[in-house]
Amino acid sequence: MFTFLRLIRIMFVSFRYGLDELVISGIRHPWTERLLVVMRLGRKLHAPRGERLRLALETLGPIFVKFGQVLSTRRDLIPADIADELARLQDRVPPFPSEVAIASIRKELGRHPDELFASFEREPVASASIAQVHFAVLKDGRDVAVKVLRPNMAPVIDKDLRLLRAAATLIEKISADGRRLKPREVVAEFDKYLHDELDLLREAANCSQLRRNFAPGGPRGDLLIVPEVMWDYCSSSIFTMERMRGIPVNHAARLVEAGVDLKKLARDGVEICFTQMFADGFFHADMHPGNIYVSDDPRTLGRYIALDFGIVGSLSEFDKNYLAQNFLAFFRRDYRQVARLHIESGWVPPGTREEELEGAIRACCEPYFDRPLAEISLGQVLLRLFQTSRRFNVEIQPQLVLLQKTLLNVEGLGRELDPSLDLWKTAKPYLERWMNERVGWAALRNNLRRESQQWAQMLPELPRLVHHQLARPDRSADTLAELQRLRAAQQQTNRLMAVIAGVLAVGVAVALWAVAR
């Protein structure tokens, strides 16, 4: 019953904001325009399509808002005007009652918050579509933030996801553009992200890993502050971490007033981003202003503070090597190599002409290289590349889409802090140094050093293995004899089949002769 009523509600909202028109307009058929004229009767749809889609998702509730947020990152799949509008979606969700949060903590951690903590603030400080946050103080005096998952989220999410899958299947069947946009794959990706965010232990583990990569007191500790996870106060529905204090990164006036050097802050943000991506292969993939603060504590003034670790990206060794070769080819303007890398990776359909892909990539990138460096947007270059790749049905990997989204966020934040920020100039030395470590003699030396421990275990066994192999009896004569027997049997079978075919042919000929008489 709930599913039916929810479906009616979705259909009503879709009709109200003209989403039906948006879908039908993508169908290329002679009667489409006539149908659209009929459907517009009695409705005034003057707002742009992206705005109407955003308003519809906000009306349908937090799950659809979250879907729109994820969809806005897939600029390789959706038009730019829709992606820009969906990027404006924010979680405007009222908090759930504090009594419910307390009951959830008691159920998950086994004790009432008043027993677990020295103090627990009933009023939440933040509320989103998945969870809300309460401040508390541990018995040892440390300030913490307690993130509590919204109750009964999984059943509601699963029901809405079933409807989204059905809608995606329908769109693929009736619209050519719909098939190109791969709505079922988008919904599957959203399903993965959403269920990852529903497991707060996974988020706590992401936080712990990122904190280890930027360990306080380590070589990177002066770049990024990551809260400590309080594992004794965590479960799949509760995430307790060190309380962070700072200024939102997009509040430039407050940062200047606190004495933060905005130009240095912008450069540090680029270094943090590329360090996570290319040194660690593990990066915070949701770096919008709400999740990034800047410390105003005199002891750590100007350091970034990371929050909300529900969405992270990972790059395999293959991804890193692919990116290294691509960046190297881009810096050299070797577009044929870029096209060749795409084809060799298997991301381009078989039969794609290398020279056509090369020409498209050159047309995409060359205008940027002819501009002053300060006017070049690395994020926009990647965006244009993904849009060009769509023409060739390139299968963009999800981890690279997250990387592109993160670069766009970092570049946007950086240029808000310092409008003259040159991401290419800031990132290029780092990338060149990193590529030298990945490609060439330095990379070979590092790989040999890394593999030496494994070789040290294998080398002592090598004489024994060689002796065992040499001591094995020679079976080559038996193998050859067996192969000859198999060949003789195959030839005999072939002769038998030829005889049977001859008999059948004679039989058919006799039958035809009898019929002809």
267 closest CA partner among 383, 433, 415, 379: 415
Residue with structure tokens 């960046």? 327
Distance of CA 63 to the CA centre of its chain: 18
Q: What's the pLDDT at 144?
A: 97
309-329 average pLDDT score? 78
Average pLDDT, the chain: 78
Question: Does the structure show a pLDDT above 80 at 394?
Answer: no
Region 395-412 average pLDDT: 69
pLDDT for res 237:
94
Which position has the token pair 């360990």?
A: 215
Question: Which alpha helices (DSSP H) does 310-422 contain, by range?
Answer: 317-331, 335-344, 354-369, 378-391, 398-417
Q: How many residues does the chain have?
A: 517
Predicted confidence at residue 334, as pLDDT, reads 85
Q: Is the pLDDT of residue 507 over 80?
A: no
Residue 226 has a pLDDT of: 95
What is d(CA 443, CA 436) in angstroms, rounded to the nearest whole number?
7
* Top-confidence residue, 318 or 223: 223
What b/e readout covers 131-162, taking b as 16+ CB neighbours within 10 angstroms?
bbbbbbebeeeeebbbbbbbeebeeebeebbe
| 263 neighbors 418 (Cβ within 8 angstroms) | yes
186 touches 89 (CB < 8 A): no
Outline which parts of the chain fall under CATH 3.30.200.20. 92-243
CB 223 within 8 A of CB 268: yes
Q: Supply φ then ψ for residue 20, to 5 degrees.
A: -60, -40
Instruction: Cite the active site residues.
Output: 286
Enter the tokens of residue 291: 């999740």
Residues 263 and 255: their CA atoms lie apart, in Å, by 11
Q: N- to C-terminal Cα distance for the chain?
A: 74
Q: Which of 291, 301, 299 is nearest to 257 (CA)?
A: 301
User: Residue 361 and residue 401: Cα distance in Å, rounded?
Assistant: 18
**How many helices and strands, by DSSP H and E, does the chain display?**
23, 11
Backbone angles phi, psi at 170, to 5 degrees: -65, -45
Backbone angles phi, psi at 297, to 5 degrees: -70, 130
pLDDT one-digit tens code per residue, 238-252: 999 999 999 988 888
Q: Please answer whether residues 438 and 413 qualify as being in contact, where contact means their C-beta atoms are separated by less than 8 angstroms.
A: no
Q: What is the pLDDT of residue 398?
A: 61
109-142 tens-digit pLDDT:
999 999 999 999 999 998 877 889 999 999 999 9
Classified by CATH at the fold level, domain 92-243 comes out as Phosphorylase Kinase; domain 1 (3.30.200)
